[in-house]
Amino acid sequence: MNTGSAHDVAIIGGGAAGLSAAVTLARSLRSVIVVDAGEPRNAPATSAHNVLAREGGSPRELLAAGRREAHHYGADIRCDPAVAARRADDGFEVDLANGGTITARRLLLATGVIDELPDVPGVREFWGTSVLHCAYCHGWEVRGQPIGVLGTSTLSVHQALLFRQLSDDVTLFCHRMPDPSDEASVQLAALDIQVVHGIVDRLRGEDDVLRAVVLDDGHEHLIDALTVAPRFMARADLYQQLGGALTEHPLGAFIATDPLGRTEIPGVWAAGNVSDLGAMIAAATGAGVTTAAAINADLVAEDAGDAVRARAEPFPAAKGDIRDDSSAR
């Protein structure tokens, strides 16, 4: 079998996607190393929702449990950012920030995304608590409250409609979005969604609690929560170093894969938010398992080919020996 690389699979990123892939691969007796910088995307949030059987748990505790499970099956977990990746003779080499290089036959990128937030003072401060982006993740927690929607594109109208399902007090701040179309305006009016024109200057809070949106003309609008539409940018430095290119999307940019997580670069796979911008935790977890199974199948095929060649190689030499012996008699 192939023994040149220290590990069968190096997983870069130990969030929901990377850790679930690690469990699946380690349970197939693959040698797995997970390299994780420890900055999951939902870290600013205090709770994670739509996670069956772990509903409302802490994002950090969820991943701590995932690490324990992966470790239990033999995965090696390093808390260290990966800073460089290159192809090696029979796989890949990955350099770690704190020194050292790991080698693996296959690379799984589960590095997630960076949420590029709108440049409005206060947005970053309240991000993940009362500045939200996903009606499914934290909409229930702000149900019935005054909710603002920061308009940055025509998709903001959709966000306003989604949050209107959760509250009858929704205000769309047009801010930097184009004026709503006639059709959108009719829908917004029919659902009693207030539309406020003008640029949002900042958010105002007190005692770490969001209180109001302040417009650049000084007017304040009291709200308890604000929804925004970040740009989701795949963390793909390593992929680009290996020669890969990102695929643009109206919401950001991602690594394109086939349904099993295979990228355009042979031997490199991707799962979770890095390749699916809309994946919530359950979807990222599922993608990790699916991609891990596909990687294992790929390695099984390679191992079988190696085994066939290893068995076949001695026979020509042995036949030669016999022929030589008989001609000597």
Ligand X SMILES: Cc1cc2nc3c(=O)[nH]c(=O)nc-3n(C[C@H](O)[C@H](O)[C@H](O)COP(=O)(O)OP(=O)(O)OC[C@H]3O[C@@H](n4cnc5c(N)ncnc54)[C@H](O)[C@@H]3O)c2cc1C
Q: Applying CB under 6 A, which residues contact ligand X?
A: 12-18, 35-42, 44-45, 48-50, 81-82, 110-112, 115, 128, 137, 235, 272-273, 279-282, 284
Q: Which two tokens stand for residue 145?
A: 């409250």
CB of 178 to ligand X, least distance (A): 26
For ligand X, the closer of residues 17 and 188 by Cβ is: 17
Nearer to ligand X by Cβ, of 42 and 290: the residue is 42
Question: Smallest distance from the beta carbon of 237 to ligand X, in angstroms?
Answer: 6
Which lies closer to ligand X via its Cβ, residue 15 or residue 252? Answer: 15
Contacts of 207 (CB under 8 A, 6+ apart): none
Residue 104 or 188 with smaller CB distance to ligand X? 104
Q: What is the 3-state secondary structure (H, E, C) of the chain?
A: CCCCCCEEEEEECCCHHHHHHHHHHHHCCCCEEEEECCCCCCCCCCCECCCCCCCCECHHHHHHHHHHHHHHCCCEEEECCEEEEEEECCEEEEEECCCCEEEEEEEEECCCEEEECCCCCCHHHHECCCEECCHHHHCHHHCCCCEEEECCCCHHHHHHHHHHCCCCCEEEECCCCCCCCHHHHHHHHHCCCEEECCCEEEEEEECCEEEEEEECCCCEEECCEEECCCEEEECCHHHHHCCCCCEEECCEEECCCCCCCECCCCCEEECHHHCCCCCCHHHHHHHHHHHHHHHHHHHHHHHHHHHHHHHHCHHHHHHHHHHHHHHHC
CB of residue 236 to ligand X, shortest distance in Å: 9
Question: 225 or 279, CB closer to ligand X?
Answer: 279
Q: Which is nearer to ligand X, 117 or 196 (CB)?
A: 117
Q: Provide, rounded to whole angstroms, the least separation between the CB of residue 28 and ligand X.
A: 20
Length of the chain: 329
Closest approach of Cβ 100 to ligand X, in Å?
Answer: 13
> What contacts 87, CB < 8 A, 6 or more positions away?
93, 242, 267
- Kindly state the smallest distance separating residue 291's Cβ from ligand X, in Å: 11
Nearer to ligand X, 42 or 156 (CB): 42
Nearer to ligand X, 273 or 291 (CB): 273
Nearer residue to ligand X within complex by CB, 108 or 184? 108
Q: Could you tell me the smallest distance in angstroms from the CB atom of residue 284 to ligand X? A: 4
- Are 111 and 298 in contact by the 8 Å Cβ rule? The answer is no
We find the least distance from the C-beta atom of residue 63 to ligand X, in angstroms, to be: 7
How far apart are alpha carbons 28 and 73 in whole angstroms? 9
Dist CA 81 CA 103 (whole Å): 15
Min dist CB 317 to ligand X, Å, is 46
